[in-house]
Amino acid sequence: TAATGGTIEVKKSVCTHCSVGCTVIAEVQDGVWIGQEPGWDSPFNLGSHCAKGASVREHAHGERRLKYPMKKVGGEWQRISWEQAIDEIGDQMLKIREESGPDSVYWLGSAKHSNEQAYLFRKFAAYWGTNNVDHQARICHSTTVAGVANTWGYGAMTNSYNDIHNSRSIFIIGGNPAEAHPVSLQHVLKAKEQNNAPLIVCDPRFTRTAAHADEYVRFRPGSDVALVWGILWHIFENGWEDQEFLRTRVWGMDEIRTEVARWTPDEVERVTGVPESQVARVARTLANNRPGTLIWCMGGTQHTNGNNNTRAYCILQLALGNMGVAGGGTNIFRGHDNVQGATDLGVLADTLPGYYGLTAGAWAHWARVWGEDLDWLKGRFATMKGKDGKDKEMMGLSGITVSRWIDGVLEAKENIEQPDNTRAMVFWGHAPNSQTRLKEMKTAMEKLDLLVVVDPFPTVSAVMNDRTDGVYLLPASTQFETRGSVTASNRSLQWREQVVAPLFESLPDHIIMTKFAKKFGFADRMLRNIEMEDDETPSIESITREFNRGMWTIGYTGQSPERLKLHMENQHTFDKTTLRANGGPADGDFYGMPWPCWGTADMNHPGSANLYDQSLPVAEGGLPFRARFGVERDGDNLLADGSYPVGSEIQDGYPEFTMQMLIDLGWDGDLTPYERRMIEYVAGYIDARPETDTDLGEQSQTGPYPSDWAEQIGGVNWKTD
C-alpha cells in the first residue's frame, strides 16, 4: 500500500529477532509502516541495530505472510473464514476432549508471544485442563535455568548488558554473540576498549566472536566442566580465589576443591585438548582482571550434561568473587526476543506463571488471582491411575515437554482413552526446525487427528508433513501489530507500542485465544478479572495488571503498564529527571525495568539491574550461595546429574557423544576418512568450514579442507546429505 503523504508518526517498539531488546523506532504514515531506525539513545542498542534488527519492517511486511485462515482438503489448501476455522477446529477438539480427555490436545506456545499473551496462553491451557504446554525455552536454556537457579536462586542472567561496561575481563564460553546477539558484542567491545578488559572466548569452532578475542581457547565439545575445573585447579593452587567472599557467602566450596584436585593439568589437557600452558594463562588472566563477567549461550546448554556445565560456570565466578558486583555475574544470552518472558510467565509443562510449580498451593494462589473456584478448575483436569493403583490428579503433574508429544502419538495411539495420548497438536508460534527427532515428528504429525499451526508465516510446522486433510493454518499478527511488554535476556521489561493495525486477516494471539475460549465455553470465567475492549479483545494493560497481582516470586509486580510506557517514552529522550521521579533507576545507565521490581505501595521500585548485591550482609538479606556441584560420589564414580563422564568413562580423551560415536563406529583405528573427519570435527580438532586448498594435516588446528573435500570423503556432503 502506498502512503499518501500524511503526517509521519513515530512509534517505539522492540526488535523481535533476539533477546538483547534493542529499540525499534518505526515511522508510520497513514497507517503504513514506511521506515525504521534504531533507538539511537537506547542503552540497549548503543546507537545501532544489527542486520537482523534492521530488517524487522521487511520481516513484518514479508510477502510470505500467511494472509488468511487456510485448511487442507484432499491435499489442496483452501481459504476459509475465521468463523469457519474456529468452529471446525473447536468442534474437533471438543470431540477429542470428550473421547480422550483434555491432555489429548497439546498446546505448544511460543517465545514470540508478548508477556501478556504468554500469561494468557498458560492460563488458557489451565482452563482447558492440561499442563501439556511448553515453548522454545525447553530446547535452549532449560539446563541454564536449572543450573543457575540451583546456585543463585533465580534462573536468569544476573547482570545487565550495559553492566558489561564495568567488566575488567570477559569470559565467553559456548556463545557467539557476534552472530547470535550482535549488538551485545558492542557492549563487550566497549569494556575491551575502555577498561582494556581481556576477552577470552572458549569454543570448539573459531567463530566471528573468537576473531575479537585476546585469547581463543579451542576445546572439545562436552568438556566444559573439565576445562572449568582445570582453570579452578590453578586458581586454588595459587591461592587466587576470593577467600573472604568464600568464607562469608559461599557454602560447599570444599567439595569443589576436592573434586578439582583430581583435575590435574595433564588430565585436563587430555580431556579438553587445551594445552596446559593455555589453561594456566586463562586462570591467571581471570584472577588478575576482576571483576569479570562470564557469558554463555547454547553451546553450553545443549548437552546431556548441560546442567553440570552451567553449574560449573557459576562456581568459577564464585571462586573469583565475581558475583553480586557490577562488572561480574553469570550472564546468559537467551535466544528469542521474549524467551525470558515466556519462561517467567510459565509457558512450560512444569510451572505456573512466576515459577510457582504445580503444587496445590501454587494452584490455589493463581485461582485466587484469577478469581476462580479451585474445585471447578480441578474438575477441568484429568486423573490418571498411578502404578500404585491410586488416582493421580494431572493438575499437579508435569505435562509432556516439547518433543515428548511425539511419543504421545506414536506409542499411545491404539488406546484413545489414555490421558497421555496426544491426538491434536497446536504449534502456536513454534517451528521445530532446531529440534531433534524431526523424522519421528513428521510421522507423528501425520498420525494426529488434527494439526493446527498459528503463526504469521506458513512455517516448517505447516509444511514438513504430508497430510492431505485435518491441518489448519491460522494467521497470527506480529508483535508490531499489537502492543504489550517483553522481557529481554537481562530481565528488563520494556513496552512495545502498536506500530500498525494487524495486516491482512491476521489477528493478535490474545484475540485468537479469546475466540477459542469462547468456543470452548470458558471465556467469561477466564477473562472475568480482565477488562475487555470489545467482545473478543481483552485489554493488554488489564492482563499486565493481573500478572502484576500474582507474580510475587520473582518481582513482576512493580512494572505496571503506566510505568513501562513512561519508561519507554523517557528512556530514549534521556529525561532522567522524569524517569527518576517515577521510580526509574537511581544512577548510571538505564536498563529497562528488570525484575525483581517490587510493587510497593508508592510503585517506585526501580527494578534490579544486578542481582545478589554483595554490599548487603547475609544477615540483612544478602544472599549466600551454594557452590556444591550437582553430583554425588559413589566410590570412584561420580553420579552426575547429567552424567558427565569421568574416570574410566573417559577413554582416549573423547568425552560424551564423541566417545559414543567411536564405539558405534567400532573404534579399531581403521576408520574411513569420512568417519575420522567427522570425529575430529565433532571433537573440535578441525574447523567446520572447508575454506582453503591446504591439505588436511593430522589433527589440524586450523581446519582447512581440500576444495574437493566432499568427493574425497566418499561423495557425501554431510552438511546437506
Q: In whole angstroms, how close is the CB of 274 to ligand SF4 at the nearest point?
A: 30
Q: Can you tell me whether residue 215 is helix, strand or coil?
A: strand
Which residue in the set 25, 28, 46, 50 belongs to the binding site for ligand SF4 (CB under 6 A)?
50
List Cβ neighbours of 571 (8 Å cut-off, separation of 6 or more).
23, 41, 42, 43, 579, 590, 592
CB of 209 to ligand SF4, least distance (A): 13
> Residue 684: left (phi > 0), alpha (psi -120 to 50), or beta?
left
Q: Provide CB contacts within 8 A for 276, sequence distance 6+.
A: 265, 266, 268, 269
**Phi/psi at 495 (nearest 5 deg)?**
-105, 135
Cβ at position 181, least distance to ligand SF4 in Å: 5
Q: What is the DSSP string of 488-556?
A: -TTSEEEEEPP-SPPPTT-B-HHHHHHHHHHHHT-HHHHTTTS-EEETTEE-HHHHHHHHHHH-TTTTB
Is the Cβ of residue 53 or residue 328 nearer to ligand SF4 in the bound state?
Answer: 53
Q: Give the interface segment with ligand SF4, choosing from 2-10, 71-79, 175-183, 302-310 (CB under 6 A).
A: 175-183
Number of H helices, E strands in the chain: 28, 26
Residue 39 engages ligand SF4 in binding (rule: CB under 6 A): no
Stretch that binds ligand SF4, among 18-26, 131-139, 229-237, 370-378 (CB under 6 A): 18-26
Told to check if 336 binds ligand SF4 by CB under 6 A, we report no
Rounded distance between C-alpha atoms, residue 618 and residue 200, angstroms? 32
Q: By CB under 6 A, tell whether 17 contacts ligand SF4.
A: yes
Chosen residue from 15, 347, 400, 696 binding ligand SF4 by CB under 6 A: 15
Long-range contacts of 411-414 (CB under 8 A, 24+ apart): 413/447
Give me the residue label for grid cell 494452584. Answer: 363
Burial 580-617 (b: 16+ CB within 10 A, else e): beebbbeeeebbbbbbbbbbeeebebbbbbbbbebeee
Instruction: Considering only the stretches 165-173, 179-187, 237-245, 291-299, report the one whose residues sit in contact with ligand SF4 under the rule CB under 6 A.
Output: 179-187
| Cell of residue 210, nine digits | 573468537
**Is residue 345 helix, strand or coil?**
coil
Q: Which ranges of 197-292 would DSSP assign to H, the alpha helix?
A: 224-237, 243-249, 253-261, 265-272, 276-288
Residue 515 is a binding residue for ligand SF4 (CB under 6 A): no
Q: Where are the beta strands (DSSP E) in 92-136?
A: 105-108, 133-134
- Please state the closest distance from residue 187 (CB atom) to ligand SF4, in A: 10
Taking the least distance from each CB to ligand SF4, the nearer of 412 and 486 is: 486
Decide: 203 and 209 in contact? Cβ < 8 Å. yes
Residue-by-residue DSSP string for 346-364: T-STT--TTT-TTSHHHHH
Round to whole Å and give the CA distance between 95 and 484.
34
CB nearer to ligand SF4: give 459 or 490: 490
Candidates 11-19, 412-420, 469-477, 559-567: pick the segment binding ligand SF4 (CB under 6 A).
Answer: 11-19
Closer residue to ligand SF4 (CB): 181 or 515? 181
Give least dist CB 493 to ligand SF4, A: 15
For residues 532, 534, 536, 539, the Cα torsion angle rounded to the nearest 10 degrees is: -30
Given the complex with ligand SF4, which of 434 and 578 has the nearer CB atom?
A: 434
Query: For the chain, what's the residue count?
Result: 721
Interface with ligand SF4, residue 183, by CB under 6 A: yes
Rule CB under 6 A: say whether 339 interacts with ligand SF4.
Answer: no
* Stretch of residues binding ligand SF4 (CB under 6 A), selected from 176-184, 204-212, 517-525, 579-587: 176-184
Q: How far is the CB of 11 from ligand SF4 (least distance, A)?
A: 16
Of 478, 473, 401, 413, residue with least CA distance to 437: 401
Name the residue type at position 654.
Y
Query: What SS3 string covers 42-93?
Result: CCCCCCCCCCCHHHHHHHHCCCCCCCCCEEEECCEEEECCHHHHHHHHHHHH
Q: Does 181 bind ligand SF4 (CB under 6 A)?
A: yes
Phi-psi region of 326 (alpha: psi -120 to 50; beta: other; left: phi over 0): beta
Query: Closest approach of Cβ 342 to ligand SF4, in Å?
Result: 16
CB of 370 to ligand SF4, least distance (A): 33
Choosing from 18, 26, 566, 696, the residue that interacts with ligand SF4 (CB under 6 A) is 18
Task: Tell whether residue 334 is a contact of ligand SF4 (CB under 6 A).
Answer: no
Nearer to ligand SF4, 182 or 198 (CB): 182
Beta-carbon contacts of 100 under 8 Å, excluding residues fewer than 6 positions away, are 416, 417, 418, 419, 421, 423
**Shortest distance, CB of residue 66 to ligand SF4, whole angstroms?**
22
Q: How far is the CB of 496 from ligand SF4 (least distance, A)?
A: 12
CB of 115 to ligand SF4, least distance (A): 16
Per-residue binding string, ligand SF4, 126-165, x by CB under 6 A, is ----------------------------------------
Going along 90-222, which residue ranges are E strands?
105-108, 133-134, 169-173, 199-202, 215-217
When binding is defined by CB under 6 A, the residue of 11, 12, 20, 680 that contacts ligand SF4 is 20
Site for ligand SF4 in 518-577 (CB under 6 A): none
In this chain, which stretch among 50-58, 523-531, 669-677, 683-691 interacts with ligand SF4, using CB under 6 A? 50-58
Chain residue at closest Cβ approach to ligand SF4: 53
| 332 part of the interface to ligand SF4, by CB under 6 A | no
Q: Interface with ligand SF4 includes 168 (CB under 6 A)?
A: no
- Give the nearest distance from C-beta 50 to ligand SF4 in angstroms: 3
Q: Is 52 in the site for ligand SF4 (CB under 6 A)?
A: yes
Query: Does residue 46 interact with ligand SF4 by CB under 6 A?
Result: no
Binding residues for ligand SF4, total number by CB under 6 A: 13
Under the binding rule (CB under 6 A), the answer on residue 182 touching ligand SF4 is yes
Select the residue interacting with ligand SF4 from 11, 28, 43, 53 (CB under 6 A): 53
| Closest to 209 in 3D by CA, of 238, 162, 174, 244 | 174
Residues in contact with ligand SF4 by the rule CB under 6 A = 15, 17-18, 20-22, 49-50, 52-53, 181-183
